[in-house]
Amino acid sequence: MATKWKWIAGLGVSGIAMAAAGQAMAQQAESDTQSGLALEEIVVTADRKDSYSADFVQAGSFRGARQIDTPLTVSVIPEQVLKSQQAQSILDALRNSPGVTSSQTSPTVYNNLSIRGIPVENRGNYRLNGSLPIVNLIDLPLENKVRVEALKGASALYYGFTTPSGIINLTTKRPTLDPVFAVSVNGNDHGQVQGHIDAGGTWGILGVRGNVAYGTVDSGIDNTWGRRSFQSGAFQLTPSDNLRINLDVEHISKEVTEPTVIQGPTAAASLLTVLPQLPKASSNPGSRGFMNKADATNVLGRVAWKFTPAWEIVAEGGISYLERDRRFSTLGNFNPVTGLGTLTMNAADGQLYRNKNGRIELAGTFATGPIVHELLIGASKNIRRQYSPSTVARVGTGSVATRANCVLLGLTTTCLQSAYDPIDLADVRFDGTTAYNATRDTSIKDTGFYAFDRMRFGGVNDDMFSVLLGIRKSDYKETQETVAGPSIETFSDKPVALSGGLVFKPKEWISAYATYIEGLESTPGAPLTANNAGEILPASNSTQYEGGIKIEPKKGLLFTAAYFDITRELTYVNDANFFVKDGEATYRGLEFSLTGEITPELSLYGSALFLRAKQGETSNAALVGNRIENTAKTQWSVSGEYRLTQLVEGLAINAGAYYTGARAINPQNSLFVPGYTVYDLGGSYAFEIGGVGMTARINAQNLTGKKYFASTSSNYLAFGAPSVIKFSLTANIF
C-alpha cells in the first residue's frame, strides 16, 4: 500500500510542479493568445467521416497532429475501413498496413504480431486512447472502436520501454450530442453468430456511450469451438468549456480452442529443410479440449484542464488486468515427409498480467520572436506485473502418466499424430494448475520524465519549417519475487533517450521530413517451448533513422513514402533451445501508402513495403548475414470500396488483395515458407424499413480458398484459416 501511495504521490508532485510552471507561463500565454496563438483541440469524432483516410494522429507525442505534419510512418485504419471489411480482430484491421505479420501462434485466439519483422510486445506496445498499455493476450474488441492505428518505429520518448516495431493504438467511440442506438447481428458460414448493441448520447454535462456484445466463435477449423463477450462504457463529463473528464471501462472475455501448431526440430543438425505439405485449411491435429480462456479488464481515466486558450494540463491513469488459462499444443519434431509429429500439450492455469499506468502533462504554445513553440512536458510511470506459472506437460513423451493421456485422447503411447490426415481426438480437458512459483513472478517499473518541443517558423502559417527536439530520462527496474519474501532486482538502468527531426512544408499539401529516435525496449518473454520459457531478458536499446515525404494532392487523399533504418539488439532461440539476446539486427526498408478518396464514389487503401532485415555480430558466425525470421522482403495490399449510388442508392461493393512474401522459419534460415496472396470480395446495402436505417453487409475473405502458412518464427508453423463468408445486419434505430 505504501508503494502505491508513493507512486501516486510522485506523479502528484510532478503535476503540482507542472501546474506551477503553467501558471507562471499563463501571463505570457495570454499575450500569445492575443497574438492569435491557441492550443488546437482535436476530437476524434471531428476527423473525416465515412472516409478511407484520416487527418489526425491519436498516438504518442504527436497526438492530435495532422498526419502530413507527423515525421513518422503512421497507418490509420479508420472506422469506414473496419466497417467495409467487417474487421473482427486487430490482424483483420492491420493487414491493410504493410509489414504487419502474424508470428508463432495461430491467429484464431489472439493476434501475436510483428511489424517490419520486430515483435509487437503484448504488454507494452498496445495502447487504449493513446495512453493505457493494454494486455494483448485476448482478442481486443473492435465494435467499440472508431479507429486502429500503427505508429511505426521507436516510440520511447512518449511511451518509455517499447519495442521499435511501433505502437498499436485503439481509439474508443465517444459520446455524441445526438442519441445513438444501433443493434447488429453478425455471423459467418461456419456457424458463428454474435450480437452487438451500441447506445449513447449526451444529457447536459454528461455523455455516455455503451457497447455490449456476445456470441459464439467459429473459424471453420476442425475440433475448435468458443464464445466471446465484452461490455464497455465511455463516459464524458464537461463541467465547463475548459474542463473535460473522461472515463473508459471495458471487460472482455473469450474462451476458444487453440489450434495445434507445428514445431520443427530445434537442434542445428536436424532443422527443417523440406517444406511441409499444406493440408486442408480446416485441419487441426489437436483436441477440442485444448482451450484458451482469458478475461481482461481495462480502465482509463483522463482529466484535461485548459486553463488558458494556449495551455492545458492533462492527467491520465488506468489499469489493464488479464487472467488466462492456456493449453498450448504442438506437433514437435515434425517430419515434413510423413506428416507425423509428437503431439505435446502444456497447460498453465492462473497466468496473470497487470499494467498500472499514470501520466501527467503540460502542453502549450508560445512564441519567441519569429519562432512558434509547441511544448509538451510530462512525467509517466508504468508498473507491469507478469506471473507466468510453469507449464504442466499433460500430453507428450515425458512420464508414463503423460503418455497415458495420449491414449485418453485416442492416440497410442507414442503420442504420434499426423498433420496431413489427423486422427480425430477426444474432447478431454486437462488440469494445468501448479503451486505458486515466486521466481516466475516478475515486475517492471518504468518511470520517465520527458519534454518535446516543436519549433515552427516561416511561411504564411508559420509552419514551412519545423524543428523537433525531444528528451526522456527514464528510471527502469526489473524485479523478481523470491521464496524468502522480498523481491530482488534483476536489472536496472537510468538511460536518456533523445529524438530530433526536421519537417519542411513548402505548401499546405506537401511535407518532407527526417528524424532520429533513440528507442528503449523491454525484451519479450521467452516462448513457451524454449528451455527458459517465460524468462524476461534485460532491456535493450535501439536507434532509428527515418526520412520521407507526404503529399495530399486533394482533400481526403494522402500519399506517403518513407525510408527507415532501425538497429536493435537481436533475440532468438539458439541451437540449445534457449531464448537469448545475442548480436544486433538491422531493418532497412521503403514503405509506401495511398489512402483516401480517389473520387466521391471510390475509396482506396493501398500500401507496400520493401524490407531488408539482417542478423549481425552474433556469437554464432553461421547466423551473420541471415535474414531475420518471419520477415518478408516484399509485402503489399490494396483494397477499396466503390459506391454505386448512381445505379442503386445505398449499394456499394468492396474488394481487396493482400500479398506477403517468403519468410524464414528460424534464425538459421534453414527453410522459407512461400509467399501468398489472398483475395477478398464483399458488398453492402443501406436502406430503410419503417424509418429505421438498416445496413446489410457480406464479405468473402480468402475468396479463392488459398492454403498458406499464416505464422512462423522460432521453428513454429501455423496454417492459415479456411475461407470464410462474413455477414451482418445493423439497425440504426436512432
How far from the centroid of its chain's Cα atoms is residue 619's Cα?
32
Summarize pLDDT for 303-317 with one digit per residue, the tens: 999 999 999 999 999
**Mean pLDDT across 251-268:** 93
Q: Which residue has the cell 485449411?
A: 281
Closest CA to 224 of 106, 95, 87: 106
Phi, psi of 109 (to 5 degrees): -100, -55
The pLDDT-based confidence of 10 (bands split at 50, 70, 90) is: very low
What pLDDT, on a 0 to 100 scale, did the predictor assign at position 34? Answer: 43
The pLDDT-based confidence of 36 (bands split at 50, 70, 90) is: low
Per this entry, what is the length of the chain? 734
Q: Higher-confidence residue: 528 or 351?
A: 351
Closest CA to 164 of 604, 644, 442, 566: 566
What pLDDT, on a 0 to 100 scale, did the predictor assign at position 536? Answer: 72
Q: Which residue has the cell 476527423?
A: 47
Burial class (CB in 10 A: 0-12, 13-18, 19+), 426: middle
**Contacting residues for 14 by C-beta, under 8 A, at least 6 apart:** 360, 379, 449
What pLDDT, on a 0 to 100 scale, did the predictor assign at position 528? Answer: 66
Average pLDDT, the chain: 90
Summarize pLDDT for 111-169 with one digit per residue, the tens: 999 998 888 999 999 999 999 999 999 999 999 999 999 999 888 889 998 989 999 99
Instruction: Indicate the residue type of 709.
Output: F
Closest CA to 124 of 528, 460, 478: 478
DSSP 574-615: -TTS-EEEEEEEEEEEEEEEEEEESSSSEEEEEEEEEEEEEE
Summarize pLDDT for 47-72 with one digit per residue, the tens: 777 889 888 888 878 878 889 999 99
Are the CB atoms for 322 and 349 separated by under 8 Å? Answer: no
Query: To 5 degrees, how large is the angle CA 202–CA 204–CA 208?
Result: 30
Are the CB atoms for 491 and 510 separated by under 8 Å? Answer: no
Instruction: Indicate the residue type of 99.
Output: G
Element (H, E) at 89: none
Name the E strands within 100-242. Answer: 100-103, 113-115, 118-119, 126-128, 132-133, 145-152, 166-172, 180-188, 193-203, 206-217, 226-240
Residue 681 pLDDT greater than 80, yes or no: yes
Burial class (CB in 10 A: 0-12, 13-18, 19+), 431: exposed
The pLDDT-based confidence of 21 (bands split at 50, 70, 90) is: very low
CB half-sphere exposure, 228, CA atoms < 13 A: 28
Summarize pLDDT for 563-594 with one digit per residue, the tens: 999 999 887 777 777 888 888 899 999 999 99
Summarize pLDDT for 482-497 with one digit per residue, the tens: 988 789 998 899 999 9
Are the CB atoms for 341 and 417 separated by under 8 Å? Answer: yes
586 vs 299: CA distance, rounded Å = 37
Residue 195 pLDDT greater than 90, yes or no: yes
CB half-sphere exposure, 490, CA atoms < 13 A: 19
What pLDDT, on a 0 to 100 scale, did the predictor assign at position 2? Answer: 42
Residue 12 pLDDT greater than 50, yes or no: no
Collapse the DSSP code of 52 into the 3-class scheme (helix H, G, I; strand E, B; otherwise coil) and give the result.
Answer: coil
What pLDDT, on a 0 to 100 scale, did the predictor assign at position 40? Answer: 63
Strands 206-217 and 226-240: antiparallel
What pLDDT, on a 0 to 100 scale, did the predictor assign at position 684? Answer: 97
Residue 15 pLDDT greater than 50, yes or no: no
**Contacting residues for 558 by C-beta, under 8 A, at least 6 apart:** 53, 67, 68, 550, 551, 552, 593, 594, 595, 596
For the chain, the straight-line distance linking the first and the last C-alpha, in angstroms and rounded, comes to 47
pTM equals 0.92
Collapse the DSSP code of 157 into the 3-class scheme (helix H, G, I; strand E, B; otherwise coil) and give the result.
Answer: helix
Spell out the SS3 assignment of 531-553: CCCCCCCCCEEEEEEEEEEEEEE
Residue 17 pLDDT greater than 60, yes or no: no
515 vs 503: CA distance, rounded Å = 9
Q: How many CB atoms lie within 10 A of CB 566?
A: 25
For the CA atoms of 83, 85, 89, 94, the dihedral, rounded to the nearest 10 degrees, stands at -110
Query: To 5 degrees, how large is the angle CA 646–CA 702–CA 280?
Result: 155
Residue 642 pLDDT greater than 80, yes or no: yes
What pLDDT, on a 0 to 100 scale, did the predictor assign at position 28? Answer: 47
Residue 18 pLDDT greater than 70, yes or no: no
The pLDDT-based confidence of 13 (bands split at 50, 70, 90) is: very low
Residue 431 pLDDT greater than 60, yes or no: yes
423 vs 417: CA distance, rounded Å = 7
Sign of dihedral through CA atoms 654, 643, 729, 235? positive
Summarize pLDDT for 608-618 with one digit per residue, the tens: 999 999 998 88
Element (H, E) at 349: strand 340-368
**Mean pLDDT across 320-326:** 97
What pLDDT, on a 0 to 100 scale, did the predictor assign at position 25? Answer: 46
Residue 302 pLDDT greater than 70, yes or no: yes
What percent of the chain is predicted at pLDDT more than 90?
Answer: 76
Are the CB atoms for 204 and 237 separated by under 8 Å? Answer: no
Summarize pLDDT for 217-242 with one digit per residue, the tens: 999 999 999 999 999 999 999 999 99
**Contacting residues for 168 by C-beta, under 8 A, at least 6 apart:** 90, 94, 113, 120, 125, 126, 127, 136, 148, 149, 150
DSSP 355-380: EEEEEEEEEEEEEETTEEEEEEEEEE
What percent of the chain is predicted at pLDDT more than 70?
Answer: 93
What pLDDT, on a 0 to 100 scale, did the predictor assign at position 6? Answer: 45
